[in-house]
Amino acid sequence: MLLQVTLNGSRFPEEHPHIPVSPGQIALQSRHAVEACAHAIHMHPRGEEGQESLAAADLSAALHAVRAAEVTAPIGVSTGEWIEPDVTKRLERIDSWTVLPDFASVNFHERGAREVARLLLSLDIGMEAGIHSVEAAKRFTAFAQSKEALRVLIEIPDLPPDQATRLLHDIEHVLDHHSPGLPRLLHGYEGSAWPMIKKAAQRNYYSRIGLEDTLYLPGQKIVYDNTQLVQTAVQMIKKKKSE
């Protein structure tokens, strides 16, 4: 079962002291997470002021640092609309990349998702399709190149358990009918993060964990860093699969 570490997301060190921002911090935490059995890296490169960035120079700096740290796991990034709201500028930024990630995620509820997905595929960058809702699942399955996706990310928001489970089932229903053969990665945010790890293990889906998704261990104890999150997820997955 593939486990991806989500190093930083949109968070800042003010939220947690071990949010990695600089290329060096991202590289060090990537290496430690892989040593703890993470199989892939998902990061949000940052600019000089610590802001999320799609700029080629910022992406190159982060990728070079991680790869120089002898991290051989695949490295992915976000293409989130909030990083660059203008679709044309977002596409220009991605098309200007000179050092390429192994994969990048595209949120199919966002404006320009299909254009971004097509561009990533044309650049031979693995495309993760982010699905936050039933409507996003329908948009993805209607995308002409949907079967070329690297995998589908089923992304469950911070919802009460019954609502989170219902949303998961509804998204699965759409995917089962239109994209049954694509690998699936299931994860949650905040309160749904750990329950979705368990459900991913039950379904033999891939999953992910990291400071992007939660700052807490099960039981609401604040986590020390990304490595501790990965270690806890690995233990949880092993336990669930042995039941």
Q: Mind listing the pLDDT tens digit for each residue in 127-169? A: 999 999 999 999 999 999 999 999 999 999 999 999 999 999 9
State the average pLDDT for the chain.
Answer: 97
Query: Between the CA of residue 73 and those of 34, 133, 197, what are the distances in Å?
Result: 7, 29, 20
The arithmetic mean of pLDDT across residues 26-34, rounded, is 98
What is the structure's pLDDT at 148?
A: 97
Domain boundaries, the chain: 3-242
What is the structure's pLDDT at 1?
A: 84
What is the structure's pLDDT at 71?
A: 95
> How far apart are the C-alpha atoms of 232 and 142, rounded to whole Å?
37
**Number of C-beta neighbours around residue 169 at 10 A:** 9
CATH 3.20.20.70 fits 3-242, yes or no: yes
The arithmetic mean of pLDDT across residues 94-102, rounded, is 99
CA angle (113 as vertex; 106, 39 as ends), nearest 5 = 10
Query: What predicted TM-score, i.e. pTM, was given to this entire model?
Result: 0.96
Q: Mind listing the pLDDT tens digit for each residue in 178-209? A: 888 999 999 999 999 999 999 999 999 999 99
What is the structure's pLDDT at 243?
A: 84
What is the structure's pLDDT at 120?
A: 99
The arithmetic mean of pLDDT across residues 12-16, rounded, is 97
> How far apart are the C-alpha atoms of 74 and 230, rounded to whole Å?
16
